[in-house]
Amino acid sequence: MNTSIYEKPLPQPDPDSQMFWDGCKEHKLLVQQCKGCGTHRFPPDSMCYICQSRDYEWVAVEGRGVIYSWIIVHYSPHRAFSRDVPYAVAYVELNTPKTIRMCGNIVNCKNEDISAGMPVEVVFDDVTPEVTLPRWKPTK
């Protein structure tokens, strides 16, 4: 756990996303699965975008995927990130279910080594005692 003061903005969970963040705290990657049609969805929402059912459950997913797209941030949008630039933010397409893409930082990898289709896996960063952020590192 990082014991220094965390000065960056933190997620503000809402009723739809609270379980996702609770899962991260337990180092589990959770997504919603519609009980009407079985579709997995992320980001969390109260209604299925396929069948409009409001009945769903939370399921753990493996947390492995490939980089679908990414950017390198050179100018910090917030002064708390200024020491981190240049840093990578990627869309990761999960292996299972492939219908889900998640956004997050790429870690343990030089920016110039990032490529489309690169296999990655989730890592959980306990940034405060209350908040854990999912990030992505190359799969070995």
Write out the residues near Zn ion by the rule CB under 5 A: 34, 36-37, 39, 48, 50-51, 53
Closer by beta carbon to Zn ion, 50 or else 60: 50
The two tokens of residue 26 are: 């337990």
Closer by beta carbon to Zn ion, 66 or else 100: 100
CB of 50 to Zn ion, least distance (A): 4
| Cβ within 8 Å of residue 39, ≥6 positions away | 33, 48, 49, 50, 51, 99
CB of 31 to Zn ion, least distance (A): 13
Closer by beta carbon to Zn ion, 40 or else 64: 40
Closer by beta carbon to Zn ion, 36 or else 138: 36
Alpha-carbon gap, residue 54 to 42, rounded angstroms = 14
CB of 136 to Zn ion, least distance (A): 27
Q: Which of 19, 13, 51 is nearest to 35 (CA)?
A: 51
CB of 56 to Zn ion, least distance (A): 8
Strands (E), 27-131: 29-34, 40-41, 56-61, 64-73, 87-94, 101-105, 119-126
Kind and range of the H or E element at 117? none
